[in-house]
Amino acid sequence: MINHDVARLFNQIADLLEIKGEDPFRINSYRKAARGIDEWSEDLTSVAQRGELQKIPGVGKGAAERITQYIDQGHITIHRELLDEMPVGLLELLKVPALGPKKVALLYRKLDIHSTETLAKALDDGKIESLPGFGAKSVEKIRDGLKFLERSAGRNPLALAIETAEALADRIRQWPEVKKVELAGSARRAVETVGDLDFVCETDKGRKVVQRFTRISDKAQVLAAGSTKGAILIADPHGHPLQVDLRVIEAESFGAALLYFTGSKAHNVRLREWAIKKGFKLNEYGLFKGDRQVAGRTEADIYKKLGLPWMPPEVREDRGEIEAKSDFSDLVDLDDIRGDLHVHTDASDGRNSLEEMIEAARQRGYAYLGITDHSQSSAIANGLTPDRLERHVETIRAAAKKAKGITVLAGTECDILADGRLDYPDDVLAELDIVTASIHSAQGQDRDRITKRTIDAMENPHVDMIGHPSGRLLGKREAMNLDWEKIFETAARTQTALEVSASWHRLDLKDVHVRQAIEAGCVLVINTDAHAITNLDQMRWGVLTARRGWAKPENILNTRTIAKLRAWLGKRSS
């Protein structure tokens, strides 16, 4: 699908227009169109062929013309013109946390800062602090943002990498020389960000397959092409560069190669040490007793020969999985999820109506759905005042009576305000079925204050869940400086569920915190924070993250039946 490419270009157009100081209405029209395009589930090419581009939310006549131009010509004229007018490095500056288009424009106009390099020099020279709107605190945040950008450079969010990987794998499987191809590397282990993609391919015509692979896209840059390996550089759905490696292998070594190239490196080292203790030698070609291969066709054969159960790729991080000798067969799976308890509708900032969200959840086989639109302080998200919330709850209750085969819960995502108060009074919260409390503002507060805000929310008997607890955005924003030991202790004591946000740009709680929360006795809940019906499909990423933290169904609130969920909710509020 070209949707992600077009949405990315529309967002860049909006950013560049804002840097130029253009009309806000025009800027917002591009942003709205970008959002509608990115969340549209059908390929734009098919929509355009039917002449129905303007049915996409936010897409008017002008946006439709630009989409058509991209489909026909592979570019958008206004995007090229804007790039010609301004240094391309300005787009890189926009990736620095704490810098938006307005600040980038000011830095460019006043100090000719047009790249991360010129930004770093200006910081060192002390030139930025004197600009209006910039002070010592802002400068420190920009320094931290640059460091964060450096750390995350070259990493792609898991969901975007997997989307690219699955499309590539589907193409490779169609080649007649290919008997089998599997994704390996960090993507197979569901690591939250992926540096590159690795595939292991079974074939007895390695050179021919590698040649095909290096011609898989006319936009690909060939990095290597041999008889056993090919490497190319492509762009992921959001335009990020992504290296893809293909290893070709014969059948008797396929499992060994898949195990080796899946990693992690630390897991492989520990496994090789284990093999040596058992009198074997393990490498990417197989498990050997002396010079004789004793296993290698499948991963399961190798683990079994070593006296170990097969281990899911998500746990292969040398975090005690080998010593545990568990088969990890009881980790939570996507099929265990019975509902989503954190979704938004167009009553706040969602893209779809209440009825559309209910029907989408029902079609996915869910037993229940929690409607949790934003509270009043989230003005940018069209948050609901108490009066609007009351009317919205009435609407939800009416829709719930009509819904067939699914229970609909009326709730809110209630802001935890900067001073620690909740955005609604207790008497309003008491009328709801489910309450998620989240921090959306003042995330830079010191460790004690930000921790106390979360703890105070969990102490409130009306708060059932803490949404995206760390507040991080992958590759864009660091996690809040929380005292996790205190957070987990309070969550366990109050039995407030901690969310594993399945939203692809959050994955929050992250895997190591999932494991720590479980060990502390916390209840977890995997939600999508969906703002459109297509976002419901992101549940997959939350489940994978939970599996990396060794979560089982009994650790996850929304694997319970509706009766058990209601019992849990009733016990918390009593």
218 band by pLDDT with thresholds 50, 70 and 90: low
pLDDT at residue 260, as a whole number? 97
CA 20 to chain CA centroid, nearest Å: 31
pLDDT at residue 153, as a whole number? 65
pLDDT at residue 522, as a whole number? 98
Query: What domains can be seen in the chain, in order of their start residue?
Result: 3-152 (1.10.150.110), 156-324 (3.30.460.10), 334-573 (3.20.20.140)
> Hey, which bits of 6-155 come out as E strands?
none
Residue 516 pLDDT > 90, yes or no? yes
Coil, strand, or helix at residue 317? coil
* Length of the chain as a residue count: 574
Q: In the chain, pLDDT over 90 holds for what percent of residues?
A: 72
The two three-digit tokens of residue 395, written as one number: 């609407």
74 band by pLDDT with thresholds 50, 70 and 90: confident
State how far the Cα of 538 lies from the Cα of 527, in Å rounded to an integer: 9
State how far the Cα of 46 lies from the Cα of 34, in Å rounded to an integer: 17
CB 568 within 8 A of CB 560: yes
Strand order in the sheet with 221-225: 180-184, 196-202, 241-249, 229-235, 221-225
Q: Which of residues 574 and 37 earns the better pLDDT score?
A: 37
The two three-digit tokens of residue 118, written as one number: 């010129």
Residue 88 pLDDT > 80, yes or no? no
The residues, ordered by sequence, that sit 6+ positions from 128 with a Cβ below 8 Å of its Cβ are 107, 111, 122, 134, 138, 139, 142
State how far the Cα of 125 lies from the Cα of 140, in Å rounded to an integer: 14
Among 273, 308, 301, smallest CA distance to 286 is for: 301
Q: In the chain, pLDDT over 70 holds for what percent of residues?
A: 97
pLDDT at residue 466, as a whole number? 98
pLDDT tens digits, 488-499: 999 999 999 999
- Calculated CA dihedral for residues 17, 23, 29, 34, nearest 10 degrees: 20
Of 74-78, 134-138, 533-537, the least confident: 134-138
Mean pLDDT over the full length of the chain: 92
State how far the Cα of 27 lies from the Cα of 241, in Å rounded to an integer: 27
Q: What are phi and psi of 236, to 5 degrees?
A: -80, 180
Residue 328 pLDDT > 70, yes or no? yes
Residue 32 pLDDT > 80, yes or no? yes
State how far the Cα of 307 lies from the Cα of 294, in Å rounded to an integer: 13
pLDDT tens digits, 428-447: 999 999 999 999 999 989 99
Of 53-57, 231-235, 238-242, 408-412, the least confident: 238-242
**How many other CB atoms sit within 10 Å of the CB of residue 243?**
17
pLDDT at residue 454, as a whole number? 97
pLDDT at residue 237, as a whole number? 65
Which DSSP category does 523 fall into?
A: -
Of 62-66, 80-84, 356-360, 491-495, the least confident: 80-84
Of 81-85, 304-308, 382-386, the least confident: 81-85
Coil, strand, or helix at residue 225? strand
Q: Which of residues 134 and 392 earns the better pLDDT score?
A: 392
Among 508, 439, 497, smallest CA distance to 472 is for: 508
Coil, strand, or helix at residue 330? coil
240 band by pLDDT with thresholds 50, 70 and 90: low
> Hey, which bits of 326-367 come out as E strands?
339-343
| Torsion sign (Cα): 284, 289, 294, 300 | negative
Q: Which of residues 268 and 147 earns the better pLDDT score?
A: 268
Residue 528 pLDDT > 70, yes or no? yes
2 band by pLDDT with thresholds 50, 70 and 90: confident
155: left (phi over 0), alpha (psi -120 to 50) or beta: beta
